[in-house]
Structure 1
């Protein structure tokens, strides 16, 4: 603990107890009861030694008031994350399924970043923060800012649509090979592009497709809504899937597989890719890369 205030006792005609003398010598201890509490907490030192209420003062003693440590250690959420890219400015991590990116919850990616990323050496370093979101059931690449300037710059890149994101999904039902979807999501324009990479027949779902998705905009649940609007919902989507064709207990088959952008500080063109999850490969083994 650090010293908050210091007082030197002037010469006294006769010895006096500290609990009587030291009232009002410190700005934050105006009463005798407050002084007693501070002594009991070990916050009062006399000549560098912890005081008691019975100590007698004669003059010349150094009395110190220590700064009370009021900060409660924050409990950390323990979660091991795979780091795909990292420097002093930013990082890209692999988000697992079944966890929120951020929000008013203890179990979040946001609360697990400090233990997984190296501390930035730059003067404006801050606690690492996600600069965009992935849905709770979605897996894949998530961009993180590690400095104040980086967080602002990355947010600006997203606003200018200069971060190119590629997703892979497995969808249900027969669909055209390539296309563009434009619609309103929550009253705002939402645009996505899709390309079917491979299709397989299925006893339960008739046909399953491995689809590459590229959103131009970043609306909430945009890709999930757009696939549902095409009548080709994403496998495992309990919110936008077809009744009777919702695969349960396997999670959502939507993966953020690629991020591309110009680094706002090094000007390097960053391209980071993520392997498809094993559950994708079980259905489409040709895409095990």
Structure 2
């Protein structure tokens, strides 16, 4: 699946139909692929927003192997996002960017069910001005972290900075490193996971590894500490797919401690969400050209888990 952002009008998604999905109705197939409800997908089809080449498709169209479908998703309706006086852990800030340490449990931008208390609400209060490329709902947001993933994020204060940072992430010249606590004892000290990732057909809120029809996803990993039943791992992203590290570690057989979606088993530790922290970020400053590197300290819950593991208390 290819994702393209049109700054002025709409978002475009392109989906290539895998052989295993051939014969499905377009509304059912695309609802799963895009992670939306079937009724919402039917609305997009009725509005003529789904096509194959120059042919506009209907909801009952049966998709075929190898064909590329294009979905034009309209900009979200304007939503007045209110600035909120929420404390921010700011690591660095100038007139172009702000680097923050997002706490676990904070949603990045407003969405159904979370219109307040988000990082965007806090940023609007603190910064006043943010880039407008990602609409009023996601101002300044260049990349995201899951609600229950803590750590470092970079935010753009103007469009020029946003474009530069997005291009760096796309070209992989911006580097992101995560620390994870996983179940099990990995067989190798380091390695690379290279797969395709797509939405899970049985649960559209989850992602999964697929043989075809997904998006390329590559994660490098290195074991930092071993404790038998648990390991501390550093993960380096080469791509930035939804839930990528969580999916890849589960795929290897070493799911993240506390992950409610991919490892919903009880653990002998106090943590609300997956033990995953965005620890390091390196990028080129969009205005000065200076290479910058920042690090966010581990949150208290993960630090306590590692201390217990080192003391054999599990």
Tell me, what secondary structure is at the counterpart of 1:93?
strand
- Match of residue 259 from structure 1: 281
Measured in 2, the distance between the counterparts of 1:219 and 1:212 equals 17
The structure, 1 or 2, with the larger RCO (C-alpha pairs under 8 Å, 6+ apart) is: 2
Kindly provide the CA deviation profile for residues 22-42 of structure 1, in whole angstroms up to 9, marking residues without a partner as x: xxxxxxxxxxxxxxxxxxxxx
1:285 Cα deviation after fit: 3.6
- Match of residue 114 from structure 1: 124
1:177 to 182, 189, 192: 189
How many matched pairs? 206
Unaligned stretches of 5+ residues in structure 1: 1-72, 121-125, 202-206
Unaligned stretches of 5+ residues in structure 2: 1-79, 199-213, 310-314
Measured in 2, the distance between the counterparts of 1:270 and 1:94 equals 16
Residues 85 and 126, structure 2, Cα contact 8 Å, conserved in 1: no
Measured in 1, the distance between the counterparts of 2:99 and 2:255 equals 28
Tell me, what secondary structure is at the counterpart of 2:120?
helix
TM-score normalized by the length of structure 2? 0.60
Residues 197 and 215, structure 2, Cα contact 8 Å, conserved in 1: yes
State the structure with more CA Rg. 1
- Match of residue 50 from structure 2: none
Residues 101 and 136, structure 1, Cα contact 8 Å, conserved in 2: yes
1:200 to 208, 227, 235: 227
Residues 91 and 143, structure 1, Cα contact 8 Å, conserved in 2: yes
TM-score normalized by the length of structure 1? 0.65
Kindly provide the CA deviation profile for residues 234-260 of structure 1, in whole angstroms up to 9, marking residues without a partner as x: 000010116565967532210000000
Tell me, what secondary structure is at the counterpart of 2:287?
coil
- Match of residue 9 from structure 1: none
Measured in 2, the distance between the counterparts of 1:179 and 1:90 equals 33
Q: Which moved more, 1:105-114 or 1:81-90?
A: 105-114
- Runs of 4 or more, structure 1, over 6 Å off, are none
Residues 270 and 301, structure 2, Cα contact 8 Å, conserved in 1: no
Measured in 2, the distance between the counterparts of 1:215 and 1:141 equals 14
Tell me, what secondary structure is at the counterpart of 1:129?
coil
State the Cα RMSD in Å: 2.7
